[in-house]
Amino acid sequence: MSRSSRATTVRKSPAERSAEIVDAAVALARREGLSAVKLRSVAAAAAVAPGLVAHYVPSMDALVATAFERITRAELEEVREIVLAASTPAGSLAELLATVFDGEREDVSLVWVEAWTLGRANEALAASVREVMDAWHATLSDIVAAGAESGDFRVTAPNEAAWHLLGLIDGLSAQTLVHWRPASRPAVLGELVERVLGARPGALATLTPD
Amino acid sequence: MSRSSRATTVRKSPAERSAEIVDAAVALARREGLSAVKLRSVAAAAAVAPGLVAHYVPSMDALVATAFERITRAELEEVREIVLAASTPAGSLAELLATVFDGEREDVSLVWVEAWTLGRANEALAASVREVMDAWHATLSDIVAAGAESGDFRVTAPNEAAWHLLGLIDGLSAQTLVHWRPASRPAVLGELVERVLGARPGALATLTPD
DNA sequence: CGACTTATTGATCGCTTGATCAACAACGAA
DNA sequence: TTCGTTGTTGATCAAGCGATCAATAAGTCG
């Protein structure tokens, strides 16, 4: 009864353990937000002593930035694949909006909104935020430009329209985060976006599957 | 040399002192954000002992919620007055957008974005957020509805269009907060909003004074 | 099997937070 | 002036944070 605890510890390779810790941080951030990524909570999630987390990570700020990057990059990649599967720019955009507003992305929305404020005290995070936002804008810009070229969209400034769309996506996501809006109404949203882009009415109608 | 300090304290009426403390919290939140509203920082800002802040306020969460409400209500009131001064719905909206995106509202944007996340752990704040968002939507909805009735706007769902506009405002504000976008380009923004509302091209042209 | 390397532990430090409370003193009343 | 009310102070508590580091033990190698 003297040497009570000290749960049988297993030694892993630094690479493996490091990956486990980052994975735990990512999972934690996805579940409870970036602000839940603490030294001790990550350690608990990775079933590891607090000191080990600090040992494998330069700082908690860096770990938070890494978690943000992993989560948001994965989301963007997912959306990109869906977009590429569509045959027309209008179809791409319809699928993109349907995906982003499918109501199952509150976790990622929370990560985004937290990142905007935490970035003020975490330079690494701020840099990541700018990076991923940039990538989002590029994706949207490509779609809008393609639609402008094909004639599906009638826009004079595809670049600015992409900003507009990104702002709209961010803003509506944040709104749903506050649980204050029942749920974005995709049908009306599609109609409004059609107008923004000068698309043929109904071009984004796939936003309402049925 | 024993009874060294104890800066000559002046006694004020509870009402006056309470107001000073709230004012200090509001000023602090406006300057450094809601997350800077701490027991000790507010005390310092009000030139008062930490204990006195706790004495006049039920909890720091409540004080943060109060500061949020004061700041955002004041902004909305300011915008409302500007809107009422315009003679047409299009003019109202043009003035509203010009005001909101005049580039001098980063302080309020920060307060909003922080409130969205802090609200998750501060029920009083969350309630205030929903309240003021509701008030914003009502203001926008009134303008859109008036424009629809006068024929200036061609919208089928004024209520939804107001959501759209509010989301856009919130999203673009958050973007500028990250300092990642040079500055929203009002000219293009106006054009895009005209499309959303089915307004005559140039109807919101006052967005670019010159 | 014993010795060495090193992954891992967990107590610990220093700091910040919100909150509490006994002691103090400013001001008006008597 | 003296007394009592009460506005005010600042030390203090408990909790939580990131980070550090001596001690420990798991795995490997001779």
Q: Which of A4, A5, A18 is nearest to A46 (CA)?
A: A18
| Residue A114, domain CATH | 1.10.357.10
Q: Which of A47-56, A79-88, B197-206 has the lowest mean pLDDT?
A: B197-206
Same domain membership, residue B83 and residue B49: no
Q: Write out pLDDT tens, residues B161-176.
A: 898 899 999 999 998 8
Same domain membership, residue B67 and residue B46: no
Range of the domain at A131: 61-207
- Whether B5 is in a domain gets the answer no
Same domain membership, residue B182 and residue B93: yes
Given a cut of 50, the residues of chain B with pLDDT beneath it are: 1-5, 207-210
Q: At what angle do helices A14-32 and A106-118 cross, to 10 degrees?
A: 100
Number of compact structural domains in chain A: 2
- Whether A175 is in a domain gets the answer yes
Task: Write the residue in B134, B168, B195 that is nearest to A171 by C-beta.
Answer: B168
Cβ atoms A178, B116 nearer than 8 A: yes
- Whether B4 is in a domain gets the answer no
Cβ atoms A190, A94 nearer than 8 A: yes
pTM of the predicted structure, to 2 decimals = 0.92
**For position B209, what pLDDT does the model report?**
46
Q: Write out pLDDT tens, residues B194-206.
A: 887 778 887 777 5
- Whether A187 is in a domain gets the answer yes
B61 touches strand C (CB under 7 A): yes
**For position B196, what pLDDT does the model report?**
79
Task: Write the residue in A172, A181, A188 that is nearest to B157 by C-beta.
Answer: A188
Same domain membership, residue A77 and residue A37: no
Same domain membership, residue A75 and residue A50: no
Same domain membership, residue A129 and residue A27: no
Same domain membership, residue B39 and residue B18: yes
- Whether A99 is in a domain gets the answer yes
| Residue B42, domain CATH | 1.10.10
Q: Which of A23, A48, A28 is nearest to A38 (CA)?
A: A28
Residues 6 or more apart from B205 whose CB is under 8 A from it? B94, B190
**For position A6, what pLDDT does the model report?**
53
Query: How distant is C1' of D3 from CA of B13, in Å?
Result: 21
- Whether A7 is in a domain gets the answer no
A20 touches strand C (CB under 7 A): no
**For position B9, what pLDDT does the model report?**
85
Same domain membership, residue A98 and residue A184: yes
